[in-house]
Amino acid sequence: MPIWVDADACPKTVRDIVVRAAQRAQVVTTFVANQRVVLPPGPYLKAIQVSAGFDVADDEIVARVSAADLVITQDIPLAAEVIEKGAVVVTPRGELMDKENVRARLNIRDFMDTMRASGVQTGGPPPLSQTDRQAFANILDRYLAGSLK
């Protein structure tokens, strides 16, 4: 049950939670990014630096992920691809993604892209809150305990 982290946009607080959990549970966890990811030393933590480019890190995760692996990402198209391969997806805000809600999120994302393309200022998501961090830590613990498939 490896963990894959889309590290390009992963908040530092979430990365720290993942690092501690991976070491505690002794689960191989790989951070994939197109920039260098600094991790503490340990046999369970790995980093893969891919070349710069659109979706290169996402493509690397899709190529390597297996069914029942955990993928941590806020990238909706990536989530949709790995869910199709049978992976479990959790966002940094602690939201479990599945086939139904990822489809809805893709529709919203496409709509917002259309709005932005027409000049509407949509803004971004709010900063990660303590509630978000706690929700993420809780769902990660559930996955590591085997109660989240």
- Number of structural domains (the chain) is 1
Quick one: pLDDT at residue 126? Answer: 76
- Say if 18 falls within a structural domain: yes
Q: In what order do the strands lie in the sheet with 45-49?
A: 45-49, 29-33, 3-6, 70-72, 88-90, 96-97
The answer to whether position 48 is within a domain reads: yes
Alpha-carbon torsion, ordered 9, 124, 69, 145, to 10 deg: 100
Q: What is the pLDDT of residues 113-136, one digit of tens each?
A: 776 677 777 666 778 899 999 999
Residue 28 predicted with pLDDT over 70: yes
- Does residue 110 sit within a domain? yes
In a domain? residue 17: yes
> pTM of this prediction?
0.86
Q: What is the pLDDT of residue 19?
A: 97
In DSSP terms, which residues pair with 20 in a beta bridge? none
- For residue 149, being part of any structural domain is answered with no
* 81-113 tens-digit pLDDT: 999 999 999 999 999 999 888 777 776 666 667
CA torsion 125-128-131-133 (nearest 10°) is 130
pLDDT surpassing 90 at residue 58:
yes
Position 148 scores a pLDDT of 66
Q: Which domain holds residue 99?
A: 3-144
Give how far Cα 10 sits from Cα of 16, 52, 72, 148, Å: 10, 17, 8, 21
CB atoms within 10 A of CB 9: 12
* Residue 57 CA: distances (Å) to CA of 25, 33, 142: 25, 5, 26
